[in-house]
Structures are given as structure tokens and as C-alpha cells.
Amino acid sequence: MEDNILDVRNLNISFSNYGKTSKVLRDVSINVSRGERVSLIGQSGSGKTVTMRAIIGTLPTPPAIIESGEILYENQNLLALNRIERNKIKGSGISIILQDPLLSFNPVLTILRQMEDIIKYSDIRIGISRGHEGRKKLITETLRKVQLSDYERILNSYPIMLSGGMRQRVLIGMALLNNPKLLIADEPGTALDVTTQKEILDLLNSLVKDEGLSLLFITHNLGVVREMADRIYVMQNGKIVETNSRENIFKKPKHQYTIKLMESVPPLFGDKVIDVKNTNSEVDEIISVANLNKSFPIRTGFFNRITSQNHAVKSVNLTINSGDIYGIAGESGSGKTTIAKILLGLYGATSGTIKINNLNLAEQAELKSYRKLIQIVYQNPGSSLNRKRTVSQILSVPLKFSGYSNTMIKDRVNELLQMVGLPTSYSSMYPHELSGGQKQRVAIARALSLEPKIIVLDEPTSALDVLIQGTVINLLHRLKKQLGLTYIFISHDLSLMRNFCNKIAIMFKGEICEAGNTKDIFSNPQHLYTKALISSIPVISDKEESLKPKVTYEERSAVLQNTRKI
């Protein structure tokens, strides 16, 4: 095909690290035609980012070694070009949007300065000159394209002053400054809340259409791909395992890996949805929270005086029965983690009553026995497991402090490892020797060690790949059944919660705006925010898309308006 704007042919790349060479890309071939949206999908470590960096030429060599293959951009082999020729293509030919909008900016320069610099250097490369006014004109035009208004304020802001969504928009604007023909997007919006992510994806789609761009979209999220691609490449272990049009991939995936990926995405609507029920024969109230408020003082000025209060949790009422899997959903900053920490006795409540096991929380929070009642599994096992301590040292901490003897500890550690499906030989390993899923299993084992009745799960799978997520969820279900646990599941991933929780509370700006049985909330959401949230979730089939609640653009912006910064 002559009309390919980008054609990667049989690219082989290996990395040489610590004296060992490992192959990361094997015969990768990708082409993007003019005006086409192509997605590259794969799990972390599959080689998608390496491919992206090879195309834009930022692969560090060494340790990377490009063994063979060509990357043709408009029939020009990029790998054969010298540095100067290649730099000319950057920005004006191929442009890139990176994943983390905050890390992509220089925090000490204003947005204007950073955008001007981009134009300045590309002007030098291309060999034209224009003054400050000319550059500023181009910048404001670009900001209009990414649907930002109030240019003056944005341009004079530092990155930290903008909200995540705004930063991502500015970042897209930066990529568009020099009218590129091909846009490469590396998981844009992944770091953002689902409602903001939805806006960013819509924006990208409209840009591609209006500006006639080609798009190479790199992601791990199948739901996002369905909205963003005409054609899809599936990548596994550095190999393209399947490529086809979007319809074909979603309707009849051929490769085993693609099928697995599809099946591991929790469905939001339809027959495959699992309705979880509380299977306990006797259901009694284990947690009851009435009128809970928590505010954090904001201290400013030279004397650190309290100048205002940040109301993180406002008048929250919750009732959780034994045997429930109670989901607390909400976007970042909605107060869901604060509630969890109050329940764990880590923060005191500002006001309100909390009863756990029919006893006031305040009376028991400091007691050792309270630790045997409630425990927590954190989001990121890389941070919640001390990397300088072995698995058995980690697991023995709670045991040691509740009076187990050394021999009892050893037996209990082995028992715990078996419970979470890890071989007992792992007890002498350090966390970095384990994979992400294994680490999370160790964290679960630690939470189980004192035989608690309640476990708070703070986004336990969000740091894991979707394939691993399934196995961890599976383990949690098995443990719940075996040990008769009650879970409080905190997450922003609503499709996972739909299939995992029997009850759910939706949090919005510190308040619970809606709570009830998961099934009812999803089939008939009442609060506008819930509707906006559910409708923003990327799904993997048209049928599910049609079942989502309908929210107009105006309604959505009306409810979300207040959450945006500045």
C-alpha cells in the first residue's frame, strides 16, 4: 500500500542489561494509512512502549539494540536518517502525547513558555522565524482546537495549577502545535478519572476527524480501543499476535491471547454479568456508620495557622452486613479512602458515630483485638510491602505483635502462603523477586494473618494487568467463602465492581450520592453523577454501549463542573 503514512517492517529490538541480552520486539510490523486510527494493545511489558519509542527515535541505545527492520515514514526509512534529518520529522511529522500529563511538563516553567519553546525549536529546525506575537497566535489557535478557553490564565499558569484534564488537553495541544500528520498517543487519560478520560478520548477522536490526522493509539484497555480504533494490533511478549479491523477483533477474535483479553474484561451489562449475592445464612449488621464527617485543617502562612478546612467526608451513612462485599466507588478525591482509614482507626472522625461489631470504634481502635477485626489490602503492593524484608518477615509482623511464638509464626506463615496459592518456598524471597500478582497475594496473606472478620480492599487490582486481576479476584472470592469474610471494596473501576460487589455506594465530593444493591444501581441509576459515571466507562461491545444510561453533554458538564480545579 502506497498510502501508508507509517510502515514499520519486521522490527527486531533487543535490550542488553547486566550482561544479558533479551529480545523485546520480534518481527513487529505495523502500518498506519492516512487518516486511519490504529490501536496497539497489550499488557505491560509486551513491548508497546518500546515500539513507540523506536518510531519517534527516543530509544536509548545502549541498552537497546535495533537488530533489523525498517520504520518507513512517508516512504522514508527513519532508521537510515541522520540525526538532523530525523529531528525535522519530530513534531511536524510525527507527534506524541504521553501518558502522565504531570510528568510530561517542566514544573517550574509556565505553560506559555513551554509551548513557545516547542515552536521556537521546531522553527529553527525547519528554518523559519516568527516573533513572540506570531508564536502566541499559534498557541491560542491550538488551545482552541483542544477546546480550552480562557487562554491567558492557562498560559500564565504553572502545570501544577491546572486540573488533570486540563493538563492532558494542553499536552495534546503541544503535540498539535506544528501540525503533525501522525499522532502517537501512549495511554492518554489512563491516569485520569473515568469521566475526564472520556472527555479526552472524545476530543482526540474529533481532532483526528477534523484535522485529518492519523492516529497510533497505544493502550492496555480494550474498552478504550473500541472507541479509538479502526484497526487493531494485539501485542504479546514483543510479537504482534493478531491484527484485524475493529469489528473483526471484537466479534470474532482468533488468537488465544486476544480471546483471553476479551474475557478478562468485566462486563458492565448483558448476560455475562455476575450478580453477587450475600450468601451468609445469618446476616447481621457488622458496620454501621451514622452521620460521619471528617475535615482536614489546611494550614498556611508563616505560623502554620489553620486557615480553612477541607471537608473530605460529609454526613456519610453506611450499613454493612456480615458477608457483604460492599463497594465504595468514586473518583480520586471523593473521600473513599478517607472513610477506609477512619474505619481502620488510622484517622479519628471529626464527628459522627461508627459502630463495628456493635461496639463504638473510638472504644476499641487502640486495642490489640481491634487488629483482629479489621485489616487492609493496599492498592500498590510495591509500596505496601517493605522491599528490604522477606515474605516471611513481612507476614510475621502482625503475628509477632499479637503474641504468637516463633514456631507458631512459622507454621502460620506457611499456612497463609498456601491459603493465597503461593508455594511455601517463597517465604525467603524479597518482594522484588515476585511478580505484581504474587506480591498482591502476599499482601492479602498479611491481611488474613490475624483472621480478621472485615478486610478493606483499597483498589487491590488497579496496579495489576487485567489478566492477573481475574486471578486475584478469584482468590478473594475463594477466601471469602472459606473464611466467612466481609469485604469493603474501594475502587474507581465500576465494571469490576458490578461483577464483584453485592452492594455499592457511589461517592461524589465527600458525600454518598447513591447507595444500594449493585444490580439496582446499575440498571436504574438515580443520581445524575452516577449516570455520568456509568456512561463514561469504556465497554467492549455495542450492546453494552446501548444499555448505558443516556447523559447529555450539558447534563454531564453541569454535574462535573464543580469538581474541576480553578
Partner 1 sequence: MNHPLGTNISGEDDTEQHRSLTSSQMAWFRFRSNPSSIIGAFIVLSVIFVAIFAPLIAPSPQSAGSFVDFMNRHSPPSRDFLFGTDNVGRDIFTRVIFGYRVSLGLVVGVLGFAVPFGVFLGLLAGYFGNWTEFVIMRFTDIMLAIPPLAMALAITAVLSPNLINAMIAITMLWWTWHTRLIYRIVKAQMNEDYVEAARVAGASHFHIMFRELLPNCISAISVKISLDAGFVILFGAALSFLGLGVQPPTPDLGTMVSTGSEYLPEYWWEALMPGLAILYAILGFNLLGDGLRDMMDVEV
Q: How far apart are CA 404 and CA 415, in angstroms?
A: 14
CA angle 513, 518, 523 (to 5 degrees): 90
Of 157 and 440, the one with the shorter C-beta distance to partner 1 is 440
- Window 483-512: contact mask with partner 1 (x via CB under 8 A): ----------------xx------------
Tell me the closest approach of the beta carbon of residue 376 to partner 1, in angstroms: 6
Tell me the closest approach of the beta carbon of residue 25 to partner 1, in angstroms: 19
CB 42 within 8 A of CB 236: yes
27 binds partner 1 (CB under 8 A): no
- Looking at 33-41, 140-148, 259-267, 349-357, which segment touches partner 1 (CB under 8 A)? 259-267
* Strand positions, DSSP E, 398-529: 454-458, 486-491, 503-508, 511-517
Tell me the closest approach of the beta carbon of residue 543 to partner 1, in angstroms: 19
Q: How far apart are CA 565 and CA 105, in angstroms?
A: 18
Closest CA to 29 of 5, 43, 11, 56: 11
433 binds partner 1 (CB under 8 A): yes
Closest CA to 167 of 99, 116, 214: 99
482 binds partner 1 (CB under 8 A): no
302 binds partner 1 (CB under 8 A): no
Contact pick of 180, 189, 266, 323 for partner 1 (by CB under 8 A): 266
DSSP 334: S
Tell me the closest approach of the beta carbon of residue 499 to partner 1, in angstroms: 6
60 binds partner 1 (CB under 8 A): no
- Looking at 127-135, 137-145, 319-327, 442-450, which segment touches partner 1 (CB under 8 A)? 442-450
25 binds partner 1 (CB under 8 A): no
Tell me the closest approach of the beta carbon of residue 180 to partner 1, in angstroms: 37
Tell me the closest approach of the beta carbon of residue 333 to partner 1, in angstroms: 17
* Strand positions, DSSP E, 111-153: none
CA angle 120, 123, 128 (to 5 degrees): 130
Q: How far apart are CA 261 and CA 43, in angstroms?
A: 9
Closest CA to 262 of 274, 248, 275: 248
- Looking at 12-20, 121-129, 190-198, 319-327, which segment touches partner 1 (CB under 8 A)? 12-20
Closest CA to 454 of 278, 322, 280, 290: 322
438 binds partner 1 (CB under 8 A): yes
Q: How far apart are CA 41 and CA 227, in angstroms?
A: 13
Tell me the closest approach of the beta carbon of residue 436 to partner 1, in angstroms: 8
- Looking at 82-90, 324-332, 368-376, 532-540, which segment touches partner 1 (CB under 8 A)? 368-376
Tell me the closest approach of the beta carbon of residue 246 to partner 1, in angstroms: 22
Closest CA to 442 of 457, 450, 431: 431
- Looking at 79-87, 204-212, 380-388, 485-493, which segment touches partner 1 (CB under 8 A)? 380-388
Give the burial string for 315-337 (b: 16+ CB within 10 Å, else e).
Answer: ebebebbbbbbbbbbbbeebbbb
Query: What is the binding site for partner 1 (CB under 8 A)?
Result: 18-20, 260, 263-264, 266, 274, 344, 346, 368, 371, 375-376, 378-380, 383-389, 393, 397-398, 400-402, 421-423, 430, 432-438, 441, 443, 446, 449-450, 467-468, 470-471, 473-475, 477-478, 481, 499-500
